[in-house]
């Protein structure tokens, strides 16, 4: 079974049981592990705090592979609330930061997706959403809502673009 198939099965199970919040974890023989922190679910959509993908081959990947993955993700994932694109490159730490470009505008601030690609340590892709409020320093993590169909497409695109 693919990561997508496992996640789809688990989300269907969660829709029936409504046992949320919970963590959905899917593992495939290649060693990839997808983790979803699910906070709410219904028959058409899911609310997530975080999506993380552990990719074993990224642990030893060169920095150019991360840069290429960030570019490929920005070109392929065009269906979220905002487009995404690489923002910061840190070859010493083995990390690439991707954010919404531009962030979504709110009446009193902004919301944006943030993706961290890391080859050092864990070899992971992490997706979160944040809100920044005018006049207040810092940012707050907020849940991401998307249809189940969009989530499954995102999983496919993540796997398909891994360098």
Tell me: pLDDT of 20 over 70: yes
Q: Which domain holds residue 69?
A: 3-161
Rg (CA), the chain: 16
What pTM was estimated for this model as a whole? 0.92
Contact 33, 128 (CB under 8 A): no
C-alpha span between 7 and 89 (Å, rounded): 31
Q: How confident is the model at residue 59 (pLDDT cuts 50, 70, 90)?
A: confident
Strand 45-54 with 33-41, pairing = antiparallel
Question: Structural domain tally of the chain?
Answer: 1
Contact 80, 103 (CB under 8 A): no
Strand partners, 130: 112, 141
Q: What is the pLDDT of residue 121?
A: 66
What pLDDT digit, counting tens, does each position of 81-100 carry?
999 999 999 999 889 999 99
Q: What is the pLDDT of residue 62?
A: 85
Contact 17, 25 (CB under 8 A): no
What pLDDT digit, counting tens, does each position of 107-155 carry?
999 999 999 999 876 678 999 999 999 989 999 999 999 999 999 999 9
């Amino acid at each position: 079974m693919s990561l997508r198939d496992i996640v789809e099965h688990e989300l269907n199970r969660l829709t029936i049981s409504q046992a949320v919040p919970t963590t959905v974890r899917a593992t495939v023989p290649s060693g990839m592990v997808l983790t979803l922190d699910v906070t709410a679910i219904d028959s058409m959509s899911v609310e997530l705090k975080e999506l993380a993908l552990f990719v074993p081959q990224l642990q030893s990947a060169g920095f150019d592979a991360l840069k290429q993955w960030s570019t490929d993700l920005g070109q392929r994932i065009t269906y979220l609330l905002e487009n995404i694109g690489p923002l910061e490159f840190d070859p010493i730490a083995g990390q690439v930061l991707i954010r919404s470009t531009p962030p979504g505008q709110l009446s009193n601030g902004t919301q944006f997706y943030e993706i961290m690609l890391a080859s050092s340590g864990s070899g992971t892709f992490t997706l979160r959403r944040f809100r920044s409020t005018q006049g207040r320093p810092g940012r707050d993590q907020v849940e991401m809502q998307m249809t189940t169909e969009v989530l499954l497409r995102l999983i496919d695109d993540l796997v398909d673009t891994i360098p």
